[in-house]
Amino acid sequence: MKIAIIDKLGLCYAGDTLSKQGLGGSESAVILMAKNLQQIGFQVTVFNNCKDGSNSKPGIYEGVRYIDNSDAKSHNEMYDIVVVSRTVAPFMLNDWPFLHTAKKRILWLHDTFVDGDEFVENLAVSGKIDHIFTLSDWHTSYILTCAHGKKRNYEVLKNKSEFMSASDINKLIGE
C-alpha cells in the first residue's frame, strides 16, 4: 500500500533533519509517522519543504522518500492514502493531483487551528476530506466546534473525525 503525506506549512526538513536540529512537533510527527509506516511495510512518500535547506534535501531516508512541494504538481504517481497535515490548501489546489484520486484522503491536525478553517466542514461534507484525525478527545471536540471565521457544527463533522494516536495505524489504513 502506498501512502503520501503532504506538509505544505512545515519548516524545511527531510528524514534525517531531526538528528541535525530541533523541529516543531508537527514536523517531527510527520518524520516519525512516515518512518514507522515504512518499517511495517508501507511505501511512504512525504511532500514537504525539503529543498535548499541547510539540514535537508530531497531524497530517500530510512526507506521514506522526501519530495519538495514545488515538484509535486509534476509527480504522476498514485497513492492509496494521502494524509494532509495542518492545512486544507492541498484539498483546494491542483498542486498535488494525486490527492484527488487517492482511495482515502485524510486531514491530520496537530494544532488548535488549521490553515483554511472556514473550509473544513464544506470539504468534509462534499467528500474531498474523508477523515479528520486529531490528537485527543479534547482536540476533537475543539476542532469540531470552534469558530475561526465560520462556526463548525459538531453534528455535521462527528462522523468524519476521530482521535488517532501515533501508534494507531489501523485507523489510517482502514482495518
Q: Retrieve residue 151's grid coordinates.
A: 462556526
**What is the pLDDT tens value at each position of the chain, 175 positions in all?**
999 999 998 889 999 998 888 888 889 999 999 999 999 999 999 999 999 777 789 999 999 999 999 999 999 999 999 999 999 999 999 899 999 999 999 999 887 677 887 888 889 889 999 988 887 777 777 777 776 666 666 666 666 665 555 555 566 555 5
Rounded to an integer, what distance in angstroms lies between the CA atom of residue 56 and that of residue 156?
40
- The DSSP code for 9 is S
Domains belonging to the chain, first-starting first, are: 2-173 (3.40.50.2000)
Q: What is the dihedral of CA 109, 112, 114, 118, to 10 degrees?
A: 130
* φ, ψ dihedrals at 52, nearest 5°: 65, 20
Distance of alpha carbon 82 from the chain centroid: 7
Q: Kindly report the pTM of this predicted structure.
A: 0.87
* 71-90 residues labelled b (16+ CB within 10 A) or e (exposed): ebeebeeebebbbbbbbbbb
Helix H, strand E, coil C: the string for 77-124 is CCCCEEEEECECHHHHCCCCHHHHHCCEEEEECCCCCCECHHHHHHHH
